[in-house]
Amino acid sequence: MDVELNVTYIILDGYVEMHKYRYLYFVLMFTAYILIICSNCTVVCLICIHRNLHEPMYIFIAALLINSVLYSTAIYPKLLIDFLSDKQIISYSACLCQGLIHYILAYSEFLLLAAMSYDRYVSICKPLQYAAIMKKTTTGVLLALAWLVPVCEVAVAVSFTVDIKLCGFTLKGIFCNNSLFSLYCVHLEALSVYGVIILLNMALLPVLFILFTYTRILIISYGSCREVRRKAAHTCLPHLMVLINFSCLITYDVIIVRLESGIPKSARLIMTLQVVLYHPLFNPIIYGLKMKEISKHLRKLFCVVTLLSH
């Protein structure tokens, strides 16, 4: 606690042998951050530039990749500063803000994946009605809800903590997440219940909706011609891979972090790095390689860059 400035600082104690590996950490994470920004922004720019990619499916993909860039920007700059600092600390207000952004964007990802699954369901199961259902206004409303609903629900959760004092000032992590609640002097039952409600609304229900729509797609495509089955596989498989990957990482963040006392520090660091490192790089690779139209434009871009470099 800095009494003179009346600012509460929290120590980030999730690093392993920082004094020994600080420059290695910095180089690896700085490289990862540049790759995340470049790979995600490249695919987003391709979707913006090419008119044949101005369809709801690609717009949702662009939104998902923008989500990854925003998430990484909320985490990485602070990590890079910590790697080069003697003390890894963060103010309580900044920590609360970082945790807020972390969960807003995480829950937004589930809602965006749900919107994508609905788009694929309409496209494959109701192709004649697709243009009438998935209009620009529908796409815009789904995008707005995917970001605004998590903002409102997470903001209510933060309001529970306004008047609560901290009894601990050491966070067992490298960035702020639900581990912050373990530092409060009192355990709020209402906050725990509301956290479960948010998890059900923002994560479990979207996942169940996605599984339902893809089950319907599987049933419809199985009884259809080969072309419909191929279309379903090419467009739905990348979404399912992203969903499975992201769900596993969020499961760690929500459940395993609460059991942190029984997990070795190095194991916690490795799992946390996967949340901030693996997933933001996974999305553009999957959509860039597996989505036929995006992959085609990427190959053309690489050919142009290769020619210009020579």
**pLDDT confidence tier of residue 38, bands split at 50, 70 and 90:** very high
pLDDT of residue 310: 63
pTM score, whole prediction: 0.89
pLDDT of residue 56: 92
**pLDDT confidence tier of residue 2, bands split at 50, 70 and 90:** very low
Question: Tens digit of pLDDT for each residue in 233-267?
Answer: 777 788 888 888 788 777 777 666 566 556 777 77
pLDDT of residue 137: 93
Question: Tens digit of pLDDT for each residue in 66-97?
Answer: 999 999 999 999 999 999 988 899 998 899 89
3-state helix/strand/coil string of the chain: CECCCCECEEEECCCCCHHHHHHHHHHHHHHHHHHHHHHHHHHHHHHHHCHHHCCHHHHHHHHHHHHHHHHHHHHHHHHHHHHCCCCCEEEHHHHHHHHHHHHHHHHHHHHHHHHHHHHHHHHHHCHHHHHHHCCHHHHHHHHHHHHHHHHHHHHHHHHCCCCCCECCCEECCCCCCHHHHHHECCCCHHHHHHHHHHHHHHHHHHHHHHHHHHHHHHHHHHCCCHHHHHHHHHHHHHHHHHHHHHHHHHHHHHCHHHHHHHCCHHHHHHHHHHHHHHHHHHHHHHHHHHCHHHHHHHHHHHHHHHHHHC
Arithmetic mean of pLDDT over the chain: 85
Question: Tens digit of pLDDT for each residue in 166-190?
Answer: 888 888 888 888 888 888 888 778 8
Domains of the chain: 9-309 (1.20.1070.10)
Question: Tens digit of pLDDT for each residue in 274-289?
Answer: 778 888 888 888 887 7
